[in-house]
Amino acid sequence: MTEKQVKSKQRVADHGEVFTAEREVNAMLDLVKNETERIESRFLEPACGDGNFLAEILRRKLAVVQRKYGGARMHHDYEMWSVIAVMNIYGVELLPDNATACRERLFNIWNEAYSANCKGDADDECRDAVRYILERNILCGDALSMKQKNGEPIIFVEWSFVTGTKVKRRDFRLDQMLEGHQEQMSLFMDGWEYDEEIDAFIPLPLKEYPITDYRRVQYHG
């Protein structure tokens, strides 16, 4: 077992913490290669550690953004689609330091690519928006109990582009969303709606937010 896979023997004993090596990460992601290269495809890592899987998923998505929108006259398109890539990556991690490290790792991957591509057009407001998105998408909690570290239910944000640069935010409880994937569902389900995109029933959102520009989501939380 390599040093990168283990932070300390004590953490292994206390939490069973062992990180997946890069070779295995890539081999497993290659099994769903098409999805990892689809910018809007959503990924949830229920034990994300400091982000080995999510970091590679983001790199693959950003590589697609670069191929499609990396031109000198396409900085606005690159910015928007790179943010979409981040919006569709989710993680749950039991240990607070890992969750923090994962957010920072993902931000740095995104920001390095963003700064290199958009150069003088790179915008601090957009950077703040991405940090805010990662705070909402990478959560400290237990994916088995589906509760956050503070004992509250895990709540994930759905980010959906509705028109142009405008985004709609809706908040959902993870445990309620997973209930919608049961094979037999009642025809009449109070408080639920059918989502054609994922072919499943989902609960009505806990909260909906005003539609806003993707660069300004941090002002509506």
Q: How far apart are CA 215 and CA 79, in angstroms?
A: 10
Measured over the CA atoms of residue 196, residue 134, residue 45 and residue 41, the dihedral's sign is positive
pLDDT tens sequence across 84-112:
999 999 999 999 999 999 999 999 999 99
DSSP 39-101: TT--EEETT-TTSHHHHHHHHHHHHHHHHHH-STT-HHHHHHHHHHHHHTEEEEESSHHHHHH
Residues 6+ apart with CB under 8 A from 64: 37, 38, 39
pLDDT tens sequence across 114-140:
999 999 999 999 999 999 999 999 999
Q: List the helix and strand counts (H, then E) for the chain.
A: 8, 10
Average pLDDT of every residue of the chain:
85
pTM of the model: 0.83
pLDDT tens sequence across 140-176:
999 989 998 888 999 999 999 999 999 999 999 988 8
- Looking at this protein, which amino acid is placed at residue 10? Q
- β-pairing verdict for 89-93 and 138-142: parallel
